[in-house]
Amino acid sequence: MNVHHAITEISGPTITEQLTDFIMDCEYSTVPDEVIQRFRMFILDYLGVALTGSYSRSSEIIAQVVEELGGKETATVVGRSYKANAALGALVNGTTGHAVEMDDDHRTSVLHPAVAVVPAAMAAAELVGAKGDKLIEGVICGYELMCRIGDAFLGTMYDEGFHPTGACGVFGAAAAAGKILGLDRDQMVAALGIAGTQAAGLEEWKTDGSWIKRLHPGKSAEAGILSVLLAKNGYTGPSTIIEGVHGFLKAFSFERKWDVNMILDGLGTEYRGYGTSFKPYAGCRFYHQVIDATLALTSEHKIDAASVKDAKVRVYRTAYQTLCTPKSRRYRPTSVVDAQFSIPFSVAASIIHGPVMPVHYSEEAIHDPAVLDLCARVEGIPDDEYEKGYPARFPTEVTINTYDGRSVTAYRDLPSGDPENPIYEEKGRFEREIVEKFRALLGYLPDYADRTDTMVSRLSALGPQDDVTELLSLFTPAGRA
């Protein structure tokens, strides 16, 4: 692995220029069919999660603020009866999509691409009346830039206090919107330069379980739209925004280390975004393999909550620090966010309820005495050897001890929903499970029940014939099947 530091002189095309060449060359007609279908499913997954998230209190607040701000009504706002301007519509949709912690996740770059990229792509498509093929092109470009730039930090951006989704999301959003709006090469380079200076997203939400994490992808989506519109009208941005001596890699890296090769290797031939995972459960992706192991044990050994004496969860240190500390809030959540980022709470909830969904992290659910009682008997254990496997793997060992003397253990290092998990060697299973998840989420939303089949069929075949605005109307109160 070649670890690089900031450079003062650029010879040949900059990273931004090389990424722009990829964006210019990416065409729906030349992308492999399996990649097109995978990204249709990513868009479907995002919309199901965002519609579910639109009912969250944090989503209601930002939607209300944007509605009061007013402006040109071009962008559909998921779950709402009004439209917003492109930038603010992307802001709401990105924020809403992150509210219930079921949006997709790219394991090695440790970020959530859909919630930054798809809202920007949607808003851009509605601005110009783009069809479904252009929406897909934009989303592919956005995922590719966001995941590749995130990969360069080698899983350590969190250690610097930054949220990779917020910081890297601006590039994905700008790439998606710029592709759809037809920027030329110079404009696209400028747009990425403008986007990079707006990168943000602090991890301080961990201190008190507040909502700012949900805002990060929304701000990325908004910044992407703004960057593209500015560049299209002649605003300039540096082509060295990524690797320059004052650039993104230096500013956001931990101990000033990164690997540029992770951005450029295979660019144009390997679709890094294709390896994005979907979340089958609500809550932080870092513990989904914990839930997999817990559910496997309870099912295989017929263990119910009443029989559990205690449980021990050995995890890589990054997960332990994020999801087991501080104990005062991981064992007694004071907010929904606290519970969404708690291994003890989520293990207890999965033992009692099975696969955990947003309903299991409601304001009422996080104070359920039965869950909290069992939660107190779940111990997290940090493992430095397991940490060496992160972020390529999420090594985890779950042991459940029962009152009748049994002790059973399961090991997992790739969560379900990750395309590298061996269960997805079965052709079509990955896409099928995303559809099943979508239907499960919509099952909690009776107002949209009569549209579910139409949503699935339309998005599963999304292409040049589909009007994006008409399609998105299905995800608003006034939409019709």
Residues 74 and 147 in one domain: yes
State the number of CA atoms in the 13 A half-sphere of 37 facing the CB.
12
Q: What is the pLDDT of residue 10?
A: 55
Which of 357, 382, 412 lies at the terminal end of a domain, its last residue?
Answer: 412
DSSP code per residue over 293-361: HHHHHHHHTT--GGGEEEEEEEEEHHHHHHHT-SHHHHSS-SSHHHHHT-HHHHHHHHHHHSS--GGGG
- Do 309 and 258 reside in the same domain of the chain? no
* pLDDT (tens digit per residue) in 161-194: 999 999 999 999 999 999 999 999 999 999 999 9
Please report whether residue 463 resides in a domain: no
- 249 and 331, same domain (yes or no): no
Q: Are 318 and 444 in contact (CB under 8 A)?
A: no
Dihedrals phi, psi of 331, to nearest 5 degrees:
-100, -25
Does residue 280 form part of some domain?
Answer: no
Within a domain: 201:
yes
Helix boundaries (H) for 152-211: 164-180, 185-196
198 and 311 both lie in a single domain: no
Residue 455 falls within a domain, yes or no?
no
One domain for residues 194 and 335: no
Residue ranges for the chain with pLDDT beneath 70: 1-10, 480-481
* Pair (291, 266) in one structural domain: no
**For residue 80, what is the DSSP state?**
-
In a domain, 440, yes or no: no
Residue 65 sits in the same domain as residue 196: yes
**What is the CATH classification number for the domain harbouring 87?**
1.10.4100.10
Which residue range forms the structural domain that includes residue 398? 285-412
Do 171 and 229 sit in the same domain of this protein?
yes
Given 257, 275, 293, the domain boundary residue is: 275
Q: Which of 355, 390, 412 is the last residue of a domain?
A: 412
Write down the pLDDT at residue 12.
Answer: 87
> Does some domain include residue 271?
yes
Residue 70 DSSP one-character state: -
pTM of the model: 0.96
The pLDDT of residue 6 is 45
Q: What's the one-letter identity of residue 185?
A: R
Is 381 part of a structural domain of the chain? yes
114 with 140, same domain? yes
Whether 299 and 255 map to the same domain: the answer is: no
Number of domains into which the chain is organized:
2
Radius of gyration of the chain (CA): 22
Residues β-bridged to residue 83: 76
Q: Is 81 exposed, middle or buried (0-12, 13-18, 19+ CB in 10 A)?
A: exposed
User: Which residue matches tokens 């090469």?
Assistant: 185
Which two three-digit tokens encode residue 180? 């759809």
Give yes or no: residues 266 and 135 share one domain: yes
Please check whether residue 469 lies inside any domain of the structure: no
Contacts with 270 (C-beta within 8 Å, 6 or more apart), sequence order: none
CB 182 within 8 A of CB 205: no
β-strand pairing of 396-402 with 407-412: antiparallel
Together in a domain, 247 and 329: no
Domain of residue 326, CATH code:
3.30.1330.120
Residue 377 and residue 112: Cα distance in Å, rounded? 31
